[in-house]
Chains A and B, each alone.
Chain A
Amino acid sequence: MTVVSDPTSQSVKRPSRLFKNKMAKLASIPMILTALVVFVGGTLWTVVYSFTGSRMLPKTNWVGFDQYERLWSSDRWIISIKNLAIYGFCSMILTLVIGFTLAACLDRKIRFESAFRTIFLYPFALSFVVTGLAWQWILNPDFGLQSLVRSWGWGSFNFDPLNNPDIVIFGLLIAGIWQGSGLIMCIMLAGLRGIDEDIWKAAKVDGIGTIKTYLVVIIPMMRPVFVTALVLIASGIIKLYDLVVAQTGGGPGLSSEVPAKYVIELMFRAQNLGQGFAASTMMLCSVVVILIPWAYLEFGGRKRG
C-alpha cells in the first residue's frame, strides 16, 4: 500500500534508531499538538484568566485571589461541592458493587447471558439528556412511580425525589447508575473471563465457599480491572452536568447543583468569566491531585520495548 511506494522504507533495510523515532514522532504530531495546545494550553489559559476580573469577555485586569475568595464564600459552590461528594461517593460504590455483582451473576454459566448483557448495557448508548428525561417522567409524583404504588393501595407512599430538596440527589443517582453501570458490568465480566479456571477448582478443593472465593481470591486478582473501572466512573462523576440539566435543572432551589454546572452558569448566565474560570481551576486541581499518582503508577512505572 502506501508503504510500497515509499522509497525510503524500501532502501533502508534496518531503520536506524533515529529514523524509527522520526517516523513515530511524525505520526504522533496530532497527539502532541492536542496534548500541548488544547489540553495544556487551554488549561493554562483558564488558570491564568481565573486571576482576572473578566466579565463577558476575557480581559487581563488582575484581581489576585479575589475570585477564589468569592468562590469559597458562595452558597451555590458549597452546595455543588457537597452534592458532588455525595453523588460521587454513592455512585462509585454502587456502580462498582452493582457492576461486579451483575458480572458475577452472568459469569455463572447461565442461560440467556447475552440477552441479559444487552439489557444491562443498552442505557450506555443513550445520552444523558434522554436518561434525564425518562427518569424525570418516571419519578413525576403525579403520573409516575409514586402514583402507581399509591394506586396499589399504599396511600401514604411518598417518593418524589425530584421535588424534595433533601433527597433529590438520590433521584439523580438512580438515573446515573442506570446509565453507567452496564459499561462497568461489561468490564468486570471481561476481567472475570480473564481469570484462570484452575483458581475455581483450587478453591473448591480447599472447601472455600463461592462468595468467599469472590471476596478473598477473585477480587484481589482483578485489581487492574477495578482501577480501570474506577477511572472511568470518576471521570464521569466530575463531568456530571447534562444529567442534572435534563433531569432537575439544579432544583428544587439549588439543591441539585453540581460544580460543572456552577462553571457554566457563572461563565454564561452571570457573565462572570473570571469566577467561572476560578471554579474550573478548582475542578482541575482536584482532577490532577487524584490522577497524577495513578497515572504515575499505571504508565510511568514500567518500561516496554
Chain B
Amino acid sequence: MADVTTNMAAGPRGPKPKKAFSRGNIFLYGTLILVSVYYLLPLYVMIVTSLKGMPEIRMGNVFGPPLEVTFEPWVKAWSQACTGINCDGLSRGFGNSVRILIPSIVLSIAIASVNGYALSNWKFKGSEVFFTILIIGAFIPYQTMLYPIVILLRELGLMGSIGGLVLVHTIFGMPILTLLFRNYFASIPEELFKAARVDGAGFWQIYFQIMLPMALPIFVVAVILQVTGIWNDFLFGVIYTKPATYPMTVQLNNIVNSVQGVKEYNVNMAATLLTGLVPLIIYFASGKLFVRGIAAGAVKG
C-alpha cells in the first residue's frame, strides 16, 4: 500500500471547496467553529474560574468572565494549598515529576525502539507471539496488575524508589510504543536494510546508523505520548512511591480532594491548569509533528 511518510508531505486530499462564500463553505466553517466551542469550553471555564475570587464563584455562573481578576488562586495552588499538615501546594511535586519523567522517557523509548526495530527487521521464531502478548497487555486495566507488580518490585528491591516507578512506566508504556516503532520501521523501504546487510553491517550498526536518523518523527510522537502519559499518571505514582517522591498529580489529587470547609473551585482549577501545563505546552509546540508521527506510526502503509 501507499507509503504514508511521503504522503504526509502532501496537502489535503479532499475536493476543493468552490467559492469563498458558498453555502457549503458556510456550513463547513460553521460546523467547525461550533465544534471548536465544545472543545474549548472546558479550558475557558477552567481559566476564568481560576481567576475569580470565591465570593464571585458562589454568586455567578461558571461561564461569566471574572469581574475582578485575581491571581491569588494560582499562588495558593502552587505554594500554599494544604494537605494534612503540609501547606506547600503543588510546588513540591513538580521536581519529583520531572525526576520521574526524564529517566522513564529515555528508558521506555530506548527499549521500545529496539523492540520495534527487532520486530520489523530481525524477526525470530516467536517474536510475533511476544508482540501479540504485549498488545493484549495494552488492554489490561492497570488496576488488576497492582498486586503482581508490588510483588515484582519487592523481589527486585525497588519498591518505593523512583527506579521502581521508572520500571513500571517502562513496562506499561511498552505495548503502544513498540507498536508505533514496529509500524514505523516496517514502512522504511526494505532495500535500505538489505543494502546495509550486504555491506556487512550488524544489528546495532544498522540500528544506530540507518534506522535512528530516519526515525526522528516517530521519536517525537513517542516522547509526546510518554510525556503526557507519565506526567498525567496518578495510580502508579501514588502506589509505588512515597510522600518524599510523590509526583505532581498526587499533590493535585490531594489538593482537589482536601475539602477544608467549602470546595475552593478556583484553587482547584488553578492547580489543575498548573498540572496540565507541561503536556499542554508540548502539544501546542509540536502540533504538526505529532499528526505526522501518528500518521507514520499508527496508520499502517
Contacts and interface: CB of A to CB of B under 8 A. Distances in A.
- CB atoms of A and B under 8 A apart anywhere in the complex? yes
Interface stretch (A68-76, A85-93, A115-123, A154-162): A115-123
A228 B299 contact: yes
Given A32-B130, A129-B272, A193-B13, 9 more contacts: A39-B134, A129-B256, A144-B63, A190-B4, A192-B14, A238-B139, A242-B235, A280-B141, A291-B136
A241 B141 contact: yes
6 contacts: A2-B204, A35-B133, A42-B149, A194-B295, A235-B138, A288-B136
Contacts of B43: 122, 134
Contacts of A20: 122, 203
Given A130-B276, A225-B299, A39 B35 contact: no
A223 B17 CA distance: 26
A182 B290 CA distance: 12
B131 A299 contact: yes
- B contact patch SS: helix
Contacts of A12: 200, 202
A23 interface: yes
Contact of A193 (B7, B138, B190, B204): B7
Contacts of A264: 143
Interface string B249-272: 100110010000000010011001
B10 A137 contact: no
Interface residues of A, number: 118
Nearest to B136: A291
Nearest to B234: A129
Given A24-B118, A178-B39, A224-B299, A38 B145 contact: yes
Interface string A246-270: 0000000000000110011001000
Interface string B266-301: 001100100110011011100110110011001111
B51 interface: no
Interface of A: 1-3, 6, 8-9, 12-15, 20-21, 23-25, 27-28, 30-32, 34-43, 45-46, 58, 98, 102, 104-110, 113-114, 116-131, 133-135, 137-138, 140, 143-144, 147-148, 151, 178, 182-183, 186-187, 189-197, 200, 204, 210, 224-225, 228, 232, 234-235, 238-239, 241-242, 259-260, 263-264, 267, 273, 276-277, 280, 283-284, 287-288, 291-292, 295, 299-300, 304-305
Contacts of B201: 3, 9
A104 B24 CA distance: 13
Contacts of B235: 242
Contacts of A182: 39
Interface in B104-139: 111, 114-115, 117-125, 127-128, 130-139
Interface residues of B, number: 115
A3 B204 contact: yes
A207 B256 CA distance: 58
**3 tightest A-B CB contacts, nearest first:** A190-B295, A127-B232, A24-B122
A263 B141 contact: yes
